[in-house]
Amino acid sequence: MTNIYVFPGQGSQTIGMGKELFPRYKHLLRQADALLGYSVAELCLSGPQERLSDTRYTQPALYVVNALSYLEEVRRTGVLPDFVAGHSLGEYNALFASGAFDFLTGLELVQRRGALMAAATGGGMAAVLGLPPERLSAILDQQGLTSLDVANLNSPQQIVISGPKQDIQAAKPILEREGANTVVPLKVSAAFHSRYMRSAAEQFSSFLSGYQFAELKIPVISNTEAAPYEDGRIAETLTKQLAHPVRWMDTVAFLLQQPAPEILEIGPGQVLTRLTRQIAQHPLRAAS
């Protein structure tokens, strides 16, 4: 059996997350609060929801809860995973689990990442349900919607597009006319994982240049390449992730090819568990 842990990203946050973990890991919470300048537990347990959903706060809070969830899972079971992966923000938890950096260093990276992503305004994202990725890309090209990028290849039934807000709005009726079951605008402040994040990626690259990363102890499957991280390319790969698509279908397809894979979602919610189920039902499409 191959034990695989996957960590959720932004969108999985919810008021009350971490409730059972915080009393057990008070020492790490104190360190996190000192770094961030606010109480992670208070934010997660009391909100308000608007603040918890603000990218600047979502990413550090979710990173902390994911990290504590991982530590608790290992403490409880004594099992270290054979592979790890994470969806967007969750990839930082996968790298933490693999030993690329310690808890606080990861939190520093995530805090800066969240601030840079929050500073990029004017864009938007929408989930397109019911159109396969190759069909969606063809429609965007044929209909002249070239300002929009495919940002998240989440499952055969769920692809996220990213770009200027007005173009997202204009695309909605076109995509639904062309066969999408629905197009759902996401509550985000910018066009994440697209060409519109290149400036943020450049700034993040400069920030990462001040860090040294340790050799990975567990293979981490990258969002952008759907293949294991290479030691020595961690900063480069993290920078690339900001402005390139999250290839979650291909990531899970890679993991499902391992011997007797057991994929466990570590963190709040079951978003990745549902996506994994959808991908497993369409293995050929996912691997293409």
Catalytic residue positions, numbered: 88, 193
CA distance 242 to 245: 8
Cα 5 to Cα 218, 280, 281, distances in angstroms: 11, 16, 20
Q: Token pair of 76, please?
A: 């409880």
Kindly list the distances between the CA atom of residue 67 and the CA atoms of 94, 132, 251, 265, in Å, as whole numbers in the listed order: 9, 33, 21, 12
Distance, CA of 66 to CA of 64 (rounded, Å)? 5
* CA angle centred on 192, ends 113 and 32, rounded to 5°: 25
| C-beta of residue 40 within 8 angstroms of C-beta of residue 64 | yes
- Structure tokens that stand for 219 in this block: 């293979």
Is the Cα dihedral 50, 54, 56, 61 positive or negative?
A: positive
Using CA atoms, how far apart are residues 185 and 124, in angstroms rounded to an integer?
Answer: 8
